Amino acid sequence: MPSYTGYELGTLDIGSRSSPRAPRSELCQVFVRWIKGDGQPAIGRIITFDSTLGTTRHLGMGGATFLAGDRVAMTTDRRGEAEIFLLRGATFEVTMTGTGITRRVTIPQAVTSNLLDLIGEAADQFSIARITPVDAPRFTP
């Protein structure tokens, strides 16, 4: 058996052979241009995408699969811009570092998508707890 770098599991070698890649037709280019309130680019900001549903295998368009529970990230450059290719139809929890923003988004069936549009359309995951008063009989001694 040829030698490969990577992990060996019994006689099955999982290593640096060419990894399967989803065809471009199954990917959406998600991009952002992050500008701070003072008009300057937000440089070096990390945006993480955590795939959802624990360790479930997802079936994408055309049969592409990936293991959920994975994390990918992009970092803004000196212009405050970043881009990443993600599977169309996949759901991620997106966190924009330094903002407190975390949203669950589904990658659209499109060639490109602006991350800020995706986040703006997503519902806030956190809801305000509402306490419902309970009517209890009053006992007086």
Alpha carbons 97 and 99: distance in angstroms, whole number? 6
Cut 0.75: pTM above it: no
Quickly tell me which residue has 């955590």 as its tokens: 50
Provide the H-helix boundaries in the chain.
115-121
Domain boundaries defined on the chain: 31-121
Question: pLDDT of the chain along its 141 residues, tens only?
Answer: 333 333 333 333 334 444 456 778 888 999 999 999 999 999 999 999 988 764 444 455 445 455 556 788 999 999 999 999 988 888 888 999 888 888 889 899 999 999 999 988 766 555 556 666 666 666 666
Alpha carbons 62 and 66: distance in angstroms, whole number? 13
Tokens representing residue 1 in the block = 């058996």
Shortest CA distance to 74 belongs to which of 40, 45, 102? 45
Residue 128: CB partners within 8 Å, gap ≥ 6?
A: none
31-121: CATH number: 2.60.40
Shortest CA distance to 32 belongs to which of 110, 107, 119? 119
